[in-house]
């Protein structure tokens, strides 16, 4: 499947209205698809044809989920420092999984909703690795949540 970046002013009206209807639904300004398409003057069939194929680019970038695996020293405050580092890089922690510490170290896996694009994610990993009590940190998964 190919993806394209297209300027808004050359898109067909039905696609633009589909985006408007999706935004009304997402913001809670309408409760049903019927209300949304009626409000933007779009047929329901056109909405259903385009709804899964059109996404606002800023929404796609915001919904990036990164899974980070780390080895943390079993010491009070280490995980808190890592979480603060992620927050300072505009990451939002979705899940935390931690093993029982063995020989003073615990494996921690975090799923992070990150607004970071490209190289910035590696800056976050570098910041985590430089946190006191972190032996290693690496990206073990990456994907969108659209």
Please check whether residues 117 and 82 belong to one and the same domain.
yes
Please check whether residues 79 and 115 belong to one and the same domain.
yes
pLDDT tens for 70-103 read 999 999 999 999 999 999 988 889 999 999 999 9
CA distance 31 to 46: 19
Mean pLDDT of 125-141: 93
CA distance 40 to 23: 11
Please check whether residues 71 and 134 belong to one and the same domain.
yes
- The whole domain housing 65 covers 61-144
Q: State the Cα angle at 120 between 114 and 123, rounded to 5°.
A: 105
**Helical spans, DSSP H, in 1-146:** 13-26, 33-40, 44-50, 57-62, 78-88, 120-129
Among 134, 67, 122, which Cα is nearest to 94's? 67
Please check whether residues 45 and 65 belong to one and the same domain.
no
pLDDT, position 117: 56
């Amino acid at each position: 499947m190919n993806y394209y970046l297209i300027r808004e002013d050359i898109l067909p009206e039905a696609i633009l209205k589909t985006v408007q209807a999706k935004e009304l639904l997402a913001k809670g300004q309408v409760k049903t698809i019927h209300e949304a398409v009626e409000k933007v003057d779009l047929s329901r069939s056109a909405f259903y044809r385009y709804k899964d194929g059109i996404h606002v680019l800023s929404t796609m970038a915001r919904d990036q989920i990164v899974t980070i695996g780390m080895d943390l020293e079993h010491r009070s405050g280490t995980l808190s420092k890592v979480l603060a580092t992620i927050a300072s890089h505009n990451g939002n922690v979705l899940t935390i999984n931690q093993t029982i510490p063995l020989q003073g170290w615990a494996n921690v896996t975090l799923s992070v909703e990150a607004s970071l694009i490209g190289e910035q994610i590696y800056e976050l990993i570098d910041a985590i690795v430089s946190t006191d009590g972190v032996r290693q940190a690496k990206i073990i998964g990456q994907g969108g949540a659209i």
